Chain A
Amino acid sequence: MSWFDKLMPSRIKTEKRRRSVPEGLWVKCPGCSAQLYRAELKRNLFVCPKCNHHLRIGARERLEWFLDPEPREEIAADLEPQDPLKFKDSKRYRDRLSQAQKETNERDALIVMAGALKRIPVVAAAFEFRFMGGSMGSVVGERFVRGVRHCIEHKRPMICFSASGGARMQEALYSLLQMAKTSAALAELAEAKLPYISVLTDPTMGGVSASLGFLGDVIIAEPGSLIGFAGPRVIEQTVKQTLPVGFQRAEFLLEKGAVDMIVDRRRARDEIAAVIAKLMNLPQPDEEPIEPTSPTLPPATPEPSTSANAA
């Protein structure tokens, strides 16, 4: 470092250093604070290779990995959200929508795809949390329902990966009613005796949790996920006490009997395919080889930990 560099105020120095590293090349693990190389993290499905913390993963990336490469067909991709109430808070809903669309390259917060899981024809849906907090409005509800209808028509099981703050306030009562709408579709799926596997990922709260989230024939949670109805802050304000460590985390829910199992993201294909095959009386699908990039992959049936990365 030259004498001139030393004279420069520290703020300017940091600016300069930050610019030299491209944005997002390194990711800090929220679980163990390790600096992780993004490309490697991505290969590991955004599970920290050091501590197994499950970071959030985009909806499309998740489905990309979860479904067999072929065949794939997106359902109701062309649905476009509207602003029936001309909703405006500090920002207009229209502007929030176009901003979210630009940032995520998605039209709304749920992606639904017909495809196959280990050659079993399925429909899989995933919430994009980066799209307005994965909130459920009219398009999310309609896409989900069309996915379910596709299942009924083609006798397929339905799988949904939730990641949502709840109902979308900007569509007000329309959003609330999506809870009833999606639940009604699932009632029809149940009458058709087709399995519905609900996977709750971080976070699954409010109206999504209190409708399609907890209606799974089998309910799976990702490790460490925040899952519940009311948000922790609201509960703290209401009961005026600090919440126990691990409250509303996946491990807590397993202990309380609210979910069937906690499944490591990297084992989701194996576990879900095995459950569906049994429920539909199909032969046991083959287990997939463990990825070489996942040295810390837990055993097939991990011991449920109660306090893990819960804080």
Chain B
Amino acid sequence: MDLKFLDFEQPIAELEAKIDALRFVGADSDINISEEIDRLTKKRDSVTRGIFASLTPWQVVQLARHPQRPDTLYYIEQCFTDFQELHGDRMFAEDRSLICGLARLEGRPVALIGHEKGRDTKERIERNYGMTRPEGYRKALRIMRLAEKFSLPVITLIDTKGAYPGVGAEERGQSEAIARNLFVMAGLRTPIVSVVIGEGGSGGALAIGVADRMLMLQYSIYSVISPEGCASILWKTAEKAEAAAEAMGVTADRLQKLGLVDDVIAEPLGGAHRDPKAMAETLKNALIQSLADLDALDADTLVRKRREKLAGYGVFKEG
């Protein structure tokens, strides 16, 4: 698959094109050009490092939404084994924007919940671009309760623009569905590890993101409202999304500095999509480590600590 380059990656794209051209020539000629390829590859890497060393929040937003960014389906395949998808909320419908099921992580059974945006147009429509409706959140809730009953840890992978703003979603109680998940997750007597793998959009993300360990991939974003939404309300134009992304502090490193996420998982050079396998490996190790840390706590302590953490969110002055 051809790599897609973002605007700010153009210098990398140019070098990549040169390398490709040389490889093409090299394949059917006697001239030894491997030295030149080596030189260009090194140059490409250093240019990439340079660009990625000082990404603006808006550039990170674009990376988090990259069409080739590894998604929940990819990580299910790479980090887990024996995945069995479980469908439906038992009340209304199956919501394909949120994948739920049972799997094994290094042999250990876990409950898995993750947003899936879809990879091509047809899939994106089927999966509603990863925007979940109430039935999706209620399915997730059912799986979380199942996990609690059988003492399985819950792993959630977050990648959504936000909860779906549609007529049916409102009619079926979008607010109630999200609120109920927050309420139940705050007291769930089994470990919860959440990872923002792409976009963490608002209540739609939080509805599966109340966790004992809140992790973010390095170039993922997490925010109260999409930069476009924020811009169109506060700046009166969605074109100010870049400024909004800056102002809200949506990036993993900023949020970690603010103490709102527990850990940031480093991505391969150039972002997760440049080396998905390596990314999956790092993610898998982070998940195993997080669960191992939480295993030490009994259910009472786990819930107490989770609640203490939730109660600690916020900045205000007393008196």
- Complex formed: what's the CA distance from A81 to B315 in Å? 7
In this assembly, does B165 line the interface, its C-beta being within 8 Å of a C-beta of chain A?
yes
CA distance A90 to B222 in the complex (A): 23
| Interface segment, one of B32-40, B41-49, B172-180, B274-282 | B172-180
CB under 8 Å from chain B, chain A span 164-197: 167, 169, 171-181, 183-188, 190-191
Interface size on B, residues (CB 8 A): 59
Q: Is the CB of A174 within 8 A of B315?
A: yes
Instruction: Determine the chain B residues whose CB is within 8 A of the CB of A87 once the complex forms.
Output: 247-248
Q: Any chain B CB within 8 A of the CB of A26?
A: no
0/1 per residue, A79-90, Cβ < 8 Å to B? 111101101111
Binds A, one of B71-79, B82-90, B228-236: B228-236
Please determine whether B233 and A80 come into contact, CB atoms closer than 8 angstroms. no
Q: Within 8 Å CB of B306, what residues of A?
A: 184
CB <8 Å contact, A229 and B314: no
Q: Which of B145-178 contact A (CB under 8 A)?
A: 163-167, 169-176, 178
A142-B224 contact given A187-B187, A230-B170, CB 8 Å threshold? no
Question: How many residues of chain A are within 8 Å of chain B by beta carbon?
Answer: 64
Q: How far is the CB of A209 from chain B (nearest CB, A)?
A: 4
**A109-B31 Cα distance, complex, nearest whole Å:** 73
Closest Cβ of chain B to A78, distance in Å, is: 5
Q: How far is the CA of A231 from the CA of B229 in the complex (A)?
A: 11
Report which of B202, B310, B315, B319 forms a contact with A176, defined as CB distance below 8 A.
B202
A207 at the interface (CB under 8 A from B): yes
In Å, the complex CA distance between A176 and B175 comes to 14
Asked if B313 is at the interface (CB within 8 A of a chain A CB), the reply is: yes
Set B171, B176, B186: member contacting A180, Cβ < 8 A: B186
The residues of B that contact A181 with a CB separation of less than 8 Å are 310-311, 313-314
B118 within 8 A of partner (CB): no
- Verify A229–B178 contact, CB threshold 8 A: yes
Do A79 and B173 form a contact, CB below 8 Å, given A89-B244, A172-B249? Answer: no
> What A residues does B202 contact at CB under 8 A?
167, 176, 207
In the complex, the answer to whether B171 meets A84 with C-beta atoms within 8 Å is no
In the complex where A180-B210, A215-B183, A247-B170 touch, is A235 in contact with B165 (Cβ < 8 A)?
Answer: yes
Check B316 against A229 for contact (C-beta < 8 Å): no
**Cα distance A176–B314 in the bound complex, in angstroms:** 10
A8 at the interface (CB under 8 A from B): no
Task: Give the residue of B176, B210, B318 whose beta carbon is less than 8 angstroms from that of A258.
Answer: B176
**CA gap between A209 and B249 in the complex, in Å:** 24
> Closest CB-CB distance, A293 to chain B, in whole Å?
35
Which residues in A have their C-beta under 8 angstroms from that of B307? 184, 187-188
Q: How far is the CA of A215 from the CA of B183 in the complex (A)?
A: 8
In the assembled complex, B203 has its CB within 8 A of some CB on chain A: yes
Partner of B225 from the list A169, A184, A213, A241 (CB cut-off 8 Å) is A169
Residue contact B167 to A239, C-beta cutoff 8 Å:
yes
Q: Contact at A210–B315, with CB atoms within 8 Å?
A: no
Given the interface pairs A180-B182, A215-B180, the reply to whether A243 lies near B234 with Cβ below 8 Å is no
Q: By the criterion CB–CB under 8 Å, are B166 and A214 in contact?
A: no
- Contact between B316 and A80, CB atoms less than 8 A apart: yes
Q: From residue 8 to 62 of chain B, which have CB atoms closer than 8 A to chain A?
A: none
A138-B316 contact in complex given A172-B249, A184-B310, A188-B307, C-beta closer than 8 Å: yes
Q: Find out whether the CB atom of B174 lies under 8 angstroms from the CB atom of A229.
A: yes
The yes or no answer to B1 lying at the interface (CB within 8 A) is no
CB proximity to B under 8 Å, residues A75-108: 78-82, 84-85, 87-90
Given A89-B247, A173-B249, A176-B224, CB of A229 within 8 Å of CB of B315: no
A141 close to chain B: CB less than 8 A: yes
In the assembled complex, the Cα of A181 lies from the Cα of B245 at a distance in Å of: 24
Across the interface, do B316 and A139 meet the contact criterion of CB distance under 8 Å?
Answer: yes
Q: Which residues of B contact A285 (CB under 8 A)?
A: none
Q: Which A residues between 194 and 246 are near B, CB-CB below 8 angstroms?
A: 206-207, 209-215, 227-231, 234-235, 238-239, 241, 243-244
A97 to B243, CA, bound (A): 20
Query: Known contacts A183-B183, A187-B187; is A177 also within 8 Å of B313 by CB?
Result: yes
Q: Interface residues, chain B, CB within 8 Å of chain A?
A: 163-167, 169-176, 178-180, 182-187, 202-203, 206-207, 209-210, 222-225, 229-230, 233-236, 240, 243-244, 247-250, 255, 258, 260, 306-307, 310-311, 313-319
Return 11 A-B CB contacts under 8 Å, by A number. A81-B316, A87-B248, A89-B240, A90-B235, A139-B314, A172-B223, A180-B182, A180-B186, A180-B206, A181-B313, A235-B170
Q: A183-B183, A228-B175 are in contact. List 8 more A-B contacts (CB 8 A).
A: A142-B316, A169-B234, A172-B247, A180-B185, A187-B187, A229-B178, A235-B167, A235-B170
Per CB-CB distance, the 5 closest pairs between chain A and chain B, nearest first, are A230-B165, A138-B314, A184-B186, A183-B182, A89-B234
